[in-house]
A and B are shown apart, each in its own frame.
Chain A
Amino acid sequence: ETGVTQTPRHLVMGMTNKKSLKCEQHLGHNAMYWYKQSAKKPLELMFVYNFKEQTENNSVPSRFSPECPNSSHLFLHLHTLQPEDSALYLCASSQAQYGSGNKNIQYFGAGTRLSVL
C-alpha cells in the first residue's frame, strides 16, 4: 500500500465511450501527476498539478482531460479514445518543494489498465 489509490484497476471501453479514472492520495502531498506506461516505452508524464493548479500539459491530446478538485483527488476524463491509447495509466503524488536538498519523491498508485476497442 503506497498511500495512492486508483480506480478502476481495469477498464475496457469503446472509442465512443466516455469514462473517468480516479486517483486519491492519503499522504498529505501538494502535487499530483498522471503518467502513461505503454509496453516497451518509458513512463510518459502527461499532466502535473501543484497546489491544484495545472503546471504541465505534455502535449497530450484533448481527448484526455484532467481535473483536480482538491489536493487529494485527481481525475482523468476520457472521451473518443483511440486503440493506441490502450496502456497502463499511473497516478503519483509528491510533496513538491523546489530548491536544493529536496528529494520530491513521487509515490505511485497501482494504475488503471485501459483497453480501447
Chain B
Amino acid sequence: GQNIDQPTEMTATEGAIVQINCTYQTSGFNGLFWYQQHAGEAPTFLSYNVLDGLEEKGRFSSFLSRSKGYSYLLLKELQMKDSASYLCAVRDMNRDDKIIFGKGTRLHILP
C-alpha cells in the first residue's frame, strides 16, 4: 500500500524560512512532486525529485532521500502570497505510474 504523511498546518513569518516535510511509503517509487494550491484555485506544479538530493528553483527548494522515504520543501524569504496549501505526491511504478497525493499542508504566513 501507500502512505504519505505531511503536517496538517504550519505558521511562519514573512521574510523567514520554512521547511515542510513529507514522508512516504510506496512499493515502486518513481518520483515525488510538490504542488502549491491557493484556496479556490488549481494546484500548480512546484518541483519534481526522482534522485536523491536537492533541487533548487528560486526561493523554493525540494529535497529527496529515497532510502529514508523522505522529502522536504524549503521556502525562503517568505511572502504573504506564499500562504497556501502544499501538496506532496508520489508516483508508483507498480500502480501504472499513478500519482498518489498527501492531504496537504496549509501554510499561514504572518506579517
Contacts and interface: CB of A to CB of B under 8 A. Distances in A.
Contacts, number: 50
Interface in A16-50: 40-43, 45, 48
Interface in A67-117: 90, 96, 98, 103-111, 113
Contacts of A4: 42
A47 to B, nearest CB: 12
Interface stretch (B13-21, B61-69, B73-81, B98-106): B98-106
A96 B89 CA distance: 17
B43 interface: yes
Given A42-B103, A42-B104, A105-B33, A111 B98 contact: no
Interface residues of B, number: 24
Which label, helix, strand, loop or mixed, suits the secondary structure of the B interface?
strand
A105 B49 CA distance: 12
17 contacts: A2-B44, A42-B4, A42-B100, A42-B104, A45-B98, A45-B99, A96-B97, A98-B97, A104-B91, A105-B33, A105-B45, A108-B35, A108-B42, A109-B42, A110-B40, A110-B41, A113-B40
